[in-house]
Amino acid sequence: MRIIQFNDIVNAVAVLCLKAAYDLPPDVMGGMKDARKHERSERGCAFLDQCIENANIAAAERMPICQDTGFAVYFIEMGEDVRVGGGSIYDAVNAGTARGYTEGYLRKSIVTDPLFKRRNTGDNTPAVIHLELVPGDRLSILLAPKGGGSENMSALKMFPPSAGREGIVEFVVDAVTRAGGNPCPPTIVGVGIGGTFEKVAYLAKKALLRPLGQPHPEELYAALERELLEKINASNVGPQGLGGDTTALAVHVEYFPCHIASLPVAVNLNCHADAAFRRRRRNHDRRDAGSVVRRNLHGPRRRPQTALRTDCPR
């Protein structure tokens, strides 16, 4: 049995919150620069240039890429041979989130009661925590902050199996094009297929954790990703919804077995400024053994003051 101390997790999570707010991962920066090379719209090129400049300033000056630093969403893999010393994994992650957002002066965006009182919790907690028990003695914590602009453009539909591939393609492309500039394109499009009502939404969000542009390992789904990306970028929504060739940087699809009577499909969008960062810990090892896994998408965003001011509803 490996013991990982409560405070070590708190400290690691606090650091993740800051890194996610300040740093655009190399794969996303590379995708932005590649999109800039191929973008034919003058306005699209100007916006992509601003996004790249914004990210560079944020990293250099340790400032949030966007004023909306997001809802803290964690994907945690906890080994069966791991125990948290001094508390629970849930409490540790929430404490680290509160510390990171408070000490880093990141915008607090969470309200207690979603409908009636809507009072700010003051520290951006509680976080959303997806915890998976896995073999071994390692603890992997991946933070994927989610801004409001892109999250509000999510879509889900319970299709009959007869809808098939054509129905899915039409639904996904329509969801992205109807979103227009709200999610601050260029976006990363996560698509979930199969499972149940709640499972398919989780699949769409988890699809966004894959490194930018990494194709699905199964060719049928990789081909579906390519078709969706081509049709989305042919929509002329373009960067920031101003027209152009780059509406999405990538489309990632994940699937799960489903009931014979249904075909669930969900779409979750990320602006380019959302990022997923991971830390792995084993025993009392305090080193950061992980690396940037990648980033969410919503135009430049994350913090009361952005490194470079751009208009981006989050």
Cβ atoms of 76 and 127 closer than 8 Å: no
* pLDDT one-digit tens code per residue, 88-111: 999 999 999 999 999 999 999 999
| 136 and 154 co-located in one domain | no
* pLDDT one-digit tens code per residue, 182-200: 999 999 999 999 999 999 9
* pLDDT of amino acid 294: 32
* pLDDT of amino acid 288: 36
* pLDDT one-digit tens code per residue, 30-78: 999 999 999 999 999 999 999 999 999 999 999 999 999 999 999 999 9
How large is the average pLDDT for residues 125-145? Answer: 97
| 38 and 156 co-located in one domain | no
- The verdict on whether omega for the bond into residue 126 sits within 30 degrees of 0, i.e. cis, is yes
| 119 and 171 co-located in one domain | no
- The verdict on whether omega for the bond into residue 135 sits within 30 degrees of 0, i.e. cis, is no
The pTM for the full model equals 0.88
Give Cβ neighbours of residue 156 (< 8 Å, ≥ 6 apart): 197, 200, 201, 204, 264, 265, 266, 267
| 17 and 135 co-located in one domain | yes
CA 172 to chain centre: 18
| 14 and 114 co-located in one domain | yes
| 17 and 136 co-located in one domain | yes
| 240 and 282 co-located in one domain | no
| 168 and 284 co-located in one domain | no
| 267 and 282 co-located in one domain | no
| 9 and 129 co-located in one domain | yes
For the chain, the domain total comes to 2
Alpha helices in 118-196 (DSSP H): 148-151, 164-179
Inside any domain, residue 307? no
The larger pLDDT score, comparing residue 291 to residue 141, is at 141
Q: How does the average pLDDT of the chain come out, rounded?
A: 89
